[in-house]
Structure 1
Amino acid sequence: MWESEMEHSFSKSKSSTLLETKVGTVATSPVLGRTANFHRDDYDKQVKQASERQRARHTTTPRRPRRPDIQVYHPRRGNGSEPGGGAENEEWNESGSSTEPETHGTELFWLDYQADSGRVTSFIVHKEDMPESVVERVAEENVLDPAMRVALQSRVRKEMDKRQDKC
């Protein structure tokens, strides 16, 4: 009789959930495989979510040191002729002993002329200034040959025209 029951239980459809044998009841492999897949998929989802949460964590300190900031050039605002001597020259100009006539008007740009010797001549070019007078102011403190005067005059005129359009 046991054998007939076994044959009968094997003849059941594959969708049956239990298989009766001499030992007892055992889950069939199609159902066992499906539940194992569900559990494995759930576990994989949990592991993936945990790793994403860990990756998305925002920390206040970087993991590696940051690159230093890019150094930015800040032009001097003093009327000096030596690099680094701007503070002394500003005091000298404030005393009123300046030989340059002060022109008040719309400032166009700050002109820095560096000679071959490394000496820097700096002053503000105003809207009312003429390129010829700007070149003469540079030539007072520097030795300029005629070709250099013409080149400087054309460059100053170009810069003035470019900035006067914006004013």
Structure 2
Amino acid sequence: MRLTVNGTSREVDVEPDMPLLWVLRDELGITGVKYGCGIAQCGACTVHVDGVPVRSCQLAVGDLEGEVTTIEGLGSPDALHAVQAAWIEHQVAQCGYCQSGQIMSAAALLSENSNPSDADIDDAMSGNLCRCGTYPRIREAIKAAAQTIRSA
């Protein structure tokens, strides 16, 4: 089976019903995507498929249609994505476990809406859980990233 991950074509020998999460982590060694709940409720496993955030724990690799982007492929080799930079600036992460999924959801939001309201942010991020409760920092980081994107 052939798939494109972070701009690189990759071939894997797996069953088509294997969740994309496990293909990424176990077969390709891409560990930024995390296992959280396994039922698509927490958001830790969020990746982009053709720019759309999806829960990789529930997407069978055989059903995959499109290019996959993980946290490792979000920025460029020379620079962090605006959301990644804002996350650092606003010290969002505490334990850090949910952060790659949070960042991927936030980046997808800002690719569609570069000036989100608090309600827009809450709606886009509602499926991403943070046990540490850094939601106010997450919102501020998203607003800062949005400002950076609008200024670019």
TM-score for both structures, normalised by structure 1? 0.31
Higher helix share: 1
TM-score for both structures, normalised by structure 2? 0.33
Which of structures 1 and 2 has the larger relative contact order (alpha carbons within 8 angstroms, sep 6+)?
2
